Amino acid sequence: MERTFTVIAAVLGGLAVALGAFGSHGLAAHFAAHPDLQGPYETANRYHMAHALALLAVAWAATRWNSPLLPWAGWLFVAGVILFSGSLYALSLTGLRWLGAVAPLGGAAFVAGWALLALAAWRG
């Protein structure tokens, strides 16, 4: 599990950097024409990177504590990146506001992941 989550975290982190650069440079004209869509993109990118790092914390925690909660925490962070950041990236690129309705599901996955990580550490 530690290796799997470390690899996924590295891929997600690299992707966050690439998407951040793409948003700043490749989408400059898009955001100039649609300035209201830049904020959601930046939020998506910020949470994407933060939870790539959180996944590294889960991988590290798994080396310290043998808890069945840690895999759940890790997969919830992955799901959160896909649902929260993914929906906001898509909203920013398409302007389809209904995609924003998916973001709270990802946010709930993030919160649950943090809660399980905390509980695993507490019990550790």
DSSP string, 51-81: HHHHHHHHHHHHHH---THHHHHHHHHHHHI
Q: What are the distances in angstroms from CA 117 to CA 8, 13, 47, 84, 86?
A: 17, 19, 17, 19, 23
Domain ranges in the chain are 2-123
pLDDT at 114: 98
pLDDT at 124: 84
In angstroms, how far is CA 106 from the centroid of its own chain?
8
pLDDT at 1: 85
How far is it, in rounded angstroms, from Cα 84 to Cα 77?
10
The model's pLDDT over 68-114, given as tens digits with 9 standing for 90+, comes to 999 999 999 999 999 999 999 999 999 999 999 999 999 999 999 99
The token pair that represents 54 in the structure block: 């959180």
